[in-house]
Copies of this chain bind each other. A is one copy, B any other.
């Protein structure tokens, strides 16, 4: 953290700032320019911001200079992390493809979808049993019944299961059925929930909040890791902007930025990212070219009859084509990344 003093701040003001910081246990380092004086602060990073330093006489502003995350940072762990889910490795040689219906609807229907997406190359099955809905009057999911159907689909196909968890009190229940605990965008800063999944050893798919910075996202990963669970998979799913033509603005820039800042694998959800089925396959391809470890998409045999999110759901045929393209692109992209490493 740096404290920038106002032009014309006095010697007494500067010394008062330094004295207060020293009393709080921070190291300080003075740097006087012809126009501007700055005080570098060394110590517990996020504590400085909270002090009222900015209110002190002669202070212009505070400027942060370093990242507040540790376990999630690439500086701490230079090599890429991979996350094992059953016999599939997320972040490895093969692109991870997660597919399934928005909501779990029926046991048999789900097993049919699971068989179809497996045949197309998916390694993991997604399906909502507890659904976050803006309206209390919308369908809220089948609950534990839905989890049972998901487990049945795993038994039938061998696919690993991904499902969303929305409250700390349900972590044990959901974890007993699924292989990957999904934290949705609205809960990215539900810290009680992050801690609860951090105390399990299940893989966690942590979606980016639709209005959270990349730094906040990595801090939420840090919450999970600080509790002892290193199996975090990040997932970009679109941010909220002024543009209304797409449901959200899928921020693919986040993929290489996360890879620069962190060692964790990062996937993309183009279904929620754009919100219209006609753009999903294209954005899945762009995600892979941006370096994503894989994609998670919504599929349904008849999107117009799905109980939720039909507008952004792929048919099984469109998914099959997308999956093939994703594998081809992933191979090409990996060869590009190997070239880059050698430049």
Contact = CB atoms under 8 A, between A and B. Distances in A.
Interface of A: 2, 4, 6-8, 20, 27, 29, 31-36, 38, 40, 42, 44, 46-47, 49-56, 62-63, 65-66, 68-69, 75, 132-139, 166-169, 186-187, 189-193, 195, 209-211, 213-216, 219-220, 222-223, 226, 239-246, 249-257, 260, 273-274, 276-279, 281-283, 285-291, 300, 302-311, 313, 317-318, 321, 325, 328-329, 332-333, 336, 339-340, 343
Nearest to A64: B63
Nearest to A247: B253
Nearest to A42: B33
Contact of A167 (B192, B309, B343): B192
A50 B317 contact: no
A311 B317 CA distance: 44
Nearest to A20: B304
Given A249-B241, A277-B52, A38 B40 contact: yes
A52 B135 contact: no
Contacts of A303: 52, 55
Contacts of A219: 134-136
A215 B288 contact: no
Nearest to A307: B50
A63 B63 contact: yes
Contacts of A260: 278-279
A254 B244 CA distance: 11
A198 to B, nearest CB: 9
Given A136-B222, A286-B286, 6 more contacts: A44-B137, A47-B138, A211-B240, A241-B241, A249-B249, A250-B253
A100 to B, nearest CB: 16
Contact of A252 (B4, B27, B166, B283): B283
Contact of A304 (B44, B55, B193, B339): B55
Contact of A279 (B166, B186, B240, B253): B253
B168 A169 contact: yes
A187 B168 CA distance: 13
Given A42-B33, A243-B251, A282-B290, A2 B63 contact: yes
Contacts of A68: 134-135, 137
Contacts of A310: 50-55
A138 B51 CA distance: 13
A306 B51 contact: yes
Contact of A339 (B209, B321, B333, B336): B321
Contacts of A278: 55, 256, 260
